[in-house]
Amino acid sequence: MNPSSKPKGSFCGNLRRREFLHTAGAGFPALALAGLLSQDGFFGSVNAATAAANPLAVKPPMIPAKAKNVIFLFMYGGPSHIDTFDYKPGMYGMDGKTIDVKTFGRGGKRNQGRIVEPKWKFKQYGQCGKWVSDLFPHVGQCVDDIAFIHSMTADSPIHGSALLMMNCGSVISGKPSLGSWVNYGLGSANENLPGYVVMLDQSGGPISGAKNWTSGFMPAGYQGTVFRSHGEPILNLSNAAGMERTGQRMVIDSLNQLNQSHLAARPDNSNLAARIASYELAYRMQVSAPEAIDLNQESEETKRLYGIDQPQTEDFGRKCLLARRLVERGVRFIQIYSGGAHNDDNWDAHGDLEKNHTHHAGATDKAIAGLLQDLKRRGLLEETLVVWGGEFGRQPTAEYEKGTGRDHNAYGFTMWMAGGGVKGGVSVGATDELGSAAVENRYHVKHLHSTILTLLGLDPDGLSYFYGGLDQKLVGVEGADPIREVIG
């Protein structure tokens, strides 16, 4: 084989690609086992003969990094940009007017529609004077830390494929999700907690469920772990009924003894050692994960900041506060869903826009602002990138003959980012005067992904994983540039 034909992305000039090592059955011990596993390369020592180096070990960034962690606030269902952050003053007074406008949603492509004017008033906030609707009075207070991208576009206006696009970069499933790429590129800073955490809405998961946090063709160690904000945070974390922690320790101690004598006859097999160690890690995770979600350690003032004292904001506020605590503990990528299941259980306002958005914004506004403020005062915002948005936006026109419901819109919508090296008080790109399509500085989901990776110190065109004869990338083979206007 001609080594020069190897595309970039192969690691350390080794004979075998890292990817092939995993697929050759050599294991994926996602553990840092100092003293047990050799760290000095794949073939460097007898003991490490069959073991890859810990794939989740912290790796240095590929390019200078501004952010260390990401909190992705996923507004599932598609929030209406013109009712939240994309101010369209010209639309007031046009309610009910039928106009020519190209739209594409679940109802198909249309060339005409009845305008539903923005249902909330907008006010200016902050030094930058950003116009924000009355749905987000608390987030409004934070606009000087936020960069808005008003010219987002996506490939699909249908939930299933659009969610996959936003999470995994393709309308076809099977590709690893953004959080998997980040953990693959940077590793996990806390081995007692998962490096990639997903918190779902109480009403259920998003369409396609686990496909949204899958590691696709990468090993399962990179996939998102569903984390619950109440009770047992991770599946199987608690001991089975009747098992005391001391009793469990006895079982593990005896298990270790027996496994050690099994290992003694096979000292060169580091996978066996890794499995022994994984029981210790699991045992520690049983302490560290509940500790991470224990909000009793937080002051009342902090809880109020996130709206945890109010029934309306309690749930999302708790998840946002948890996200901060997880960031403090080194969790690399956290995604929180606002909305789950179908229809009005999420931002998918096809029927009554006012009722739907009042509900979902009301449940999240205070919590999101609290998160930004709390991160900032603790000095964490600088290294924590907060991303807000859904899989698409909504149309300026009504979906049905009657009512205020809007259909999906992937031609133009708004996402915003804060912290993690993002410029504050900035707005990039624009939709037309109705918000029906992005017309100025248009950006695709790929550019958003490219920006997130760049801020984390990962080269979007260089971060690749060899699979199916191709160096696969989150942003596709063609690559995509980051949105430079928002990078500070």
The CB-of-260 to other proteins minimum distance in angstroms stands at 9
What does each C-alpha distance from 105 to 61, 81, 177, 396, 406 come to in angstroms? 39, 15, 24, 12, 9
Q: How many CB atoms lie within 10 A of CB 377?
A: 11
Among residue numbers 362 through 381, which ones bind other proteins (CB under 8 A)? none
CA atoms within 13 A on the CB side of 155: 16
Question: Which secondary-structure segment (H or E) carries 305?
Answer: helix 300-305
Q: Which is nearer to other proteins, 20 or 92 (CB)?
A: 20
Kindly state whether residue 211 participates in binding other proteins, applying the rule CB under 8 A: yes
Q: Which is nearer to other proteins, 30 or 146 (CB)?
A: 30
Among residue numbers 48 through 67, which ones bind other proteins (CB under 8 A)? 49-50
Kindly state whether residue 41 participates in binding other proteins, applying the rule CB under 8 A: no
DSSP state of 397: E
Q: Which is nearer to other proteins, 119 or 175 (CB)?
A: 175
Kindly state whether residue 11 participates in binding other proteins, applying the rule CB under 8 A: no
Kindly state whether residue 35 participates in binding other proteins, applying the rule CB under 8 A: no
The CB-of-202 to other proteins minimum distance in angstroms stands at 9
Name the nearest CA neighbour of 143 among 124, 162, 159. Answer: 124
CA gap 397, 159 in Å, rounded: 19
CA gap 389, 414 in Å, rounded: 7
Kindly state whether residue 465 participates in binding other proteins, applying the rule CB under 8 A: no
For residue 43, the cross-strand partners are none
Which residue stretch of 67-75, 127-135, 295-303, 462-470 sits at the interface with other proteins (rule: CB under 8 A)?
Answer: 462-470
The CB-of-369 to other proteins minimum distance in angstroms stands at 28
Among residue numbers 394 through 423, which ones bind other proteins (CB under 8 A)? 400, 410
Size of the site for other proteins (CB under 8 A): 125
Which residue stretch of 58-66, 86-94, 172-180, 383-391 sits at the interface with other proteins (rule: CB under 8 A)?
Answer: 172-180
CA gap 255, 250 in Å, rounded: 8
The CB-of-253 to other proteins minimum distance in angstroms stands at 8
Interacting residue with other proteins among 29, 113, 457, 460 (CB under 8 A): 29
Interacting residue with other proteins among 97, 106, 123, 377 (CB under 8 A): 106
Among residue numbers 224 through 283, which ones bind other proteins (CB under 8 A)? 225-226, 228, 232, 234-244, 246-248, 250-252, 254-255, 257-259, 261-263, 265-269, 271-272, 274-276, 278-279, 281-282
The CB-of-20 to other proteins minimum distance in angstroms stands at 6
Buried b (16+ CB within 10 A) or exposed e, 233-272: bbeebeeeeeeeeeeeeeebeeeeeebeeebeeeeebbbb
Contact yes or no for 110/406 (Cβ under 8 A): no
Q: How many CB atoms lie within 10 A of CB 152?
A: 30
- Cβ-proximal residues to 445 (8 Å cutoff; 6+ apart), any chain: 152, 153, 154, 155, 165, 166, 169
The CB-of-32 to other proteins minimum distance in angstroms stands at 12
Kindly state whether residue 104 participates in binding other proteins, applying the rule CB under 8 A: yes
Contact yes or no for 407/440 (Cβ under 8 A): no
Site string for other proteins, 109-148 (x = CB under 8 A): x---------------------------------------
CA gap 424, 372 in Å, rounded: 12
- Cβ-proximal residues to 282 (8 Å cutoff; 6+ apart), any chain: none
Interacting residue with other proteins among 96, 355, 440, 488 (CB under 8 A): 440
The CB-of-275 to other proteins minimum distance in angstroms stands at 5
Among residue numbers 341 through 360, which ones bind other proteins (CB under 8 A)? 341-344, 348, 350-351
The CB-of-417 to other proteins minimum distance in angstroms stands at 18
Interacting residue with other proteins among 9, 23, 58, 59 (CB under 8 A): 23
Name the nearest CA neighbour of 327 among 186, 190, 139, 185. Answer: 190
Kindly state whether residue 22 participates in binding other proteins, applying the rule CB under 8 A: yes
CA gap 211, 94 in Å, rounded: 41
Which residue stretch of 58-66, 67-75, 160-168, 380-388 sits at the interface with other proteins (rule: CB under 8 A)?
Answer: 160-168
The CB-of-29 to other proteins minimum distance in angstroms stands at 4
Q: Which is nearer to other proteins, 45 or 373 (CB)?
A: 45
Among residue numbers 278 through 297, which ones bind other proteins (CB under 8 A)? 278-279, 281-282, 285-286
Q: How many CB atoms lie within 10 A of CB 213?
A: 25
Interacting residue with other proteins among 444, 450, 464, 475 (CB under 8 A): 444
Query: What is the identity of the amino acid at 31?
Result: L
Give DSSP secondary structure letters for 403-450. SS-EEEE-SSEEEEEESTTBPSSEEE-EE-TTSSSEEES-EEHHHHHH
CA atoms within 13 A on the CB side of 197: 33
Kindly state whether residue 161 participates in binding other proteins, applying the rule CB under 8 A: yes
